[in-house]
Amino acid sequence: MRKTTILFAVLLAAFACKPAVEATDDLIPSDEGLFPFVISYEMSKGAATDFSTLLEAPAGKDGFIRVENGHFVNDKGIVKLNATNLTAAANFPTHEQAERVAERIANFGINCVRLHYMDWPYGPEGFPLAKEPSIFAKDGSERNLDPEMLDRLEYLIYQFKQRGIYVDVNLYVARYQYHYKGQNAINTFIQAKEREYAKDLLTHVNPYTGLPMTKDPVVAVVELNNEDALFTTYTGGNLRLPGWPAIADIKGTEMPEAKKREFYKTLLKYEADHWNNMRTYLKKDLGLMAPVTSTQVSYSQPSTFDGMDFYDNHAYWLHPTIGVFWKQNTSSMVNNPDGGSLTGLSARRFAGKPYTISEYNHPYPSFYGAEGQPMLHAYAAFQGWDGVFAYSWNNRINEEPQSMEYFFSYAARTDCLAHFDACAAMFLRGDVQEASEGVTASVPLKAFEDDWVSKPSRSGNISNLIKEATGVTMANMLEHKITVDPHAEKAVPANLKEAGPVKVSSTGQIEWNNEDPENGMFMVKAPNVKVFSGFPKGRTADLGDGVKLDIGKTKLGWATISLTSKAGNGFDKGSTALLVATGYTHNKDAKFKRELDKDGNPTMTISSRWYDWGTGPIMTEGIPAKVTLPSDADATSCWALDESGARKEAVPVGKDSNGKAVVEIGQKYQTVWYEITVK
């Protein structure tokens, strides 16, 4: 994530897509009819909402995670990481908080947590976060670890391990980044500090597990660096070094082509050497057992990652511009026919190694944020990716907020969090089928070099390179499993048909329908999990296996609904299912302003000031919908659930003309989730 403070750079949107305009009465609906609903921090064990049974405890009981045949494995077989992040001070809860947060994370079927941004020397400060502790002592040295914070971190890891939750350890993220961005490959001072920090953190014996992180199988993977590479920083014009040519000269005509190619290779060599040396230090000098990667693949060129164990990437749909005043486009990605931020991720799934997405979010206060994780998890399962991480669980020591405190936190984001069980089923349990066959897009390394030489850029437009070399388009990635081979000898045409307005995965389980450009629909039709997200506009959503949805009027004309079989045995006899329905959701008393363009016309962008974010609790709407099921009505029961997932009220079950169960949900039940059981 591109972290920010008021004192530092304002961030631009991660993807400059121009989304279609939704057919809604008003961009900012009224709060009339909203009700408070914060998912409990003490969940009901064994309830329909409890998916902790998907985890295998303790984490690492089947040996260390390693890489074989392009995937993560342990002694038992392939390992998938269904994950989230803890950012900055959220990594240092008290012992009591650690126990509670670990229990709640496990409840949602999350089996890995990325320990991120721990190394900010004094704790992050800025919109809207207050200064809080980091891993470093407050002595100003920016090198000595704080014993209390280290103890808190290690106790948290112990709690995760006991529940079957792995950790992804991030090393160099924030320390010095505003002074030395991009320089770790060439700056010996930074390199020495990286080694020192890695040794102090990874080799310290955890008093609760009895093991250092280097020797503890709870550590799934280690990341050397976050969103930072010499190649990106230098070629983006954000770094000047004595004796090196100015990027303006490289981009212009002043430098001969041969010199440009020589410089390109020099940049990549410095970077690859640094990453490889750091990996060797961790693995051989410190004895680290876990797989290692350098930084995100979008920050450099494919060849610099050759010595790493796996590939990692990040993406955000419509990342906000952050400051005292912030702005955010609040459009639904389902109306982007090219797949929005997801197909950009597919374009960097390089061949031969595991692929993880360690950050993904449709940031708050997007009104359509609930679509993000179900769409990511569905396509990640279909594409055969190895790890997906919701960014972020929380960004503060306060592990139990009652409202949204930051753009990227999920802890109190009811509309998104309620669908995490469905995400775990799709990806971790494997309910969404991986494509048995796929398409290899062959894009030789020479094509990357040629692209940079002809038009130097941050990292090259790989989507265009793939299309030019193989004919594979962004939308094709919604229909076919795509792997990019940058080490192919030559480009090979893929001979795929151009994707139409309805994109159906080759497995038939995922459909993205843009026949109505302003009212898109995304659907998952797997046997044990059903998802709808989009604008129904009076249409019945047939999700297969006898499950149908008829969604009524909502504040946005939009909703996200998931139906998940808890035991993975369908939705008929002897089954229990979790039904989740969410829509417009935000903080109580939040104030948003619709932005105008230069001509005074309203846009899809909203803005606010940090003190206009409102207070707790989170407020949401009840989605009116009729759900038709394959079970006999007489054998089917339904309950509205409270914030902990416990039953609070029976919901009548009707029947259709064939005697099948029909459940009608809505505002009167004051909930976002329901339990359905079939005798």
What is the C-alpha to C-alpha distance for residues 268 and 226, in angstroms, rounded to an integer? 17
Average pLDDT score, the chain: 91
Can you give the pLDDT at residue 23? 33
Can you give the pLDDT at residue 7? 29
For 611-656, give the DSSP string: GGS-EEEEEE-PPPEEEEEEEEGGGEEEEEE-TTS-EEEEE-EEE-
Strongest mean pLDDT among 124-128, 397-401, 437-441, 656-660 = 656-660
Confidence of residue 610 (pLDDT cuts 50, 70, 90): confident
552-572 average pLDDT score: 97
Per-residue pLDDT reduced to its tens digit, 304-350: 999 999 999 999 999 998 776 788 899 999 999 999 999 999 999 99
Can you give the pLDDT at residue 125? 57
Per-residue pLDDT reduced to its tens digit, 395-440: 988 889 999 988 999 999 999 999 999 999 999 999 999 999 999 9
And the tokens for 520?
Answer: 């898109």
Residue from 462, 441, 333, 337 nearest 383 by CA: 441
564-586 average pLDDT score: 97
In sign, the C-alpha dihedral spanning 394, 342, 426, 418 is: positive
Q: How many CA atoms lie within 13 A of 563 on its CB side?
A: 33
Residue from 342, 462, 376 nearest 84 by CA: 376
- The answer to whether the CB of 485 falls within 8 A of the CB of 508 is no
In sign, the C-alpha dihedral spanning 365, 368, 372, 374 is: positive
Report whether pLDDT(251) > 80.
Answer: no
Q: For residue 437, count other CB atoms closer than 10 A to its CB.
A: 7
pLDDT above 90 covers a percentage of the chain that reads 77
Per the model's pLDDT, the better-predicted residue between 17 and 319 turns out to be 319
What is the C-alpha to C-alpha distance for residues 5 and 98, in angstroms, rounded to an integer? 27
Can you give the pLDDT at residue 6? 27
The three-class DSSP label of residue 235 is helix
Can you give the pLDDT at residue 12? 30
129-137 average pLDDT score: 84
Min mean pLDDT across 268-282, 485-499, 630-644 is at 485-499
Confidence of residue 122 (pLDDT cuts 50, 70, 90): low
- Burial class (CB within 10 angstroms; exposed 0-12, middle 13-18, buried 19+) of 36: middle
**E strand or H helix that includes residue 359:** strand 355-361
pLDDT above 70 covers a percentage of the chain that reads 94
Min mean pLDDT across 38-47, 122-131, 213-222, 286-295 is at 122-131
Residues contacting 16, CB < 8 A, separation 6+: none
For 109-150, give the DSSP string: T--EEEEESTT-TT---BTTBPP---SB-TTS-S-SBPHHHH
35-233+274-427, CATH topology level: TIM Barrel (3.20.20)
Q: Give the E-state strand segments of 436-516 in sequence order.
A: 438-442, 481-485, 502-504, 510-513
Per the model's pLDDT, the better-predicted residue between 350 and 3 turns out to be 350
489-512 average pLDDT score: 94
CATH 3.20.20.80 spans which residues of the chain?
Answer: 35-233+274-427
Min mean pLDDT across 63-67, 133-137, 281-285 is at 133-137
**E strand or H helix that includes residue 453:** helix 445-454
Confidence of residue 460 (pLDDT cuts 50, 70, 90): low
41-65 average pLDDT score: 98
The three-class DSSP label of residue 647 is strand
- The answer to whether the CB of 619 falls within 8 A of the CB of 656 is no
And the tokens for 509?
Answer: 């389980």
Confidence of residue 127 (pLDDT cuts 50, 70, 90): low
The three-class DSSP label of residue 61 is coil
What is the C-alpha to C-alpha distance for residues 217 and 160, in angstroms, rounded to an integer? 12
Per-residue pLDDT reduced to its tens digit, 267-288: 999 999 999 999 999 999 999 9
Cα 278 vs. chain centroid, distance in angstroms? Answer: 26
| Amino acid letter for position 15 | F
Phi, psi values for residue 581, rounded to 5° = -140, 120
Q: How large is the C-alpha radius of gyration of the chain?
A: 24
- The answer to whether the CB of 115 falls within 8 A of the CB of 83 is no
Can you give the pLDDT at residue 576? 98
CATH 2.60.220 spans which residues of the chain?
Answer: 507-584+621-678
Phi, psi values for residue 662, rounded to 5° = -130, 120
Level-2 CATH architecture, domain 507-584+621-678? Sandwich (2.60)
Query: Across the strands, what pairs with 262?
Result: none
Q: For residue 141, count other CB atoms closer than 10 A to its CB.
A: 9
And the tokens for 69?
Answer: 């045949």
Confidence of residue 175 (pLDDT cuts 50, 70, 90): confident
Confidence of residue 60 (pLDDT cuts 50, 70, 90): very high
453-465 average pLDDT score: 73
Can you give the pLDDT at residue 363? 95
Can you give the pLDDT at residue 10? 31
pTM: 0.95
Can you give the pLDDT at residue 541? 98
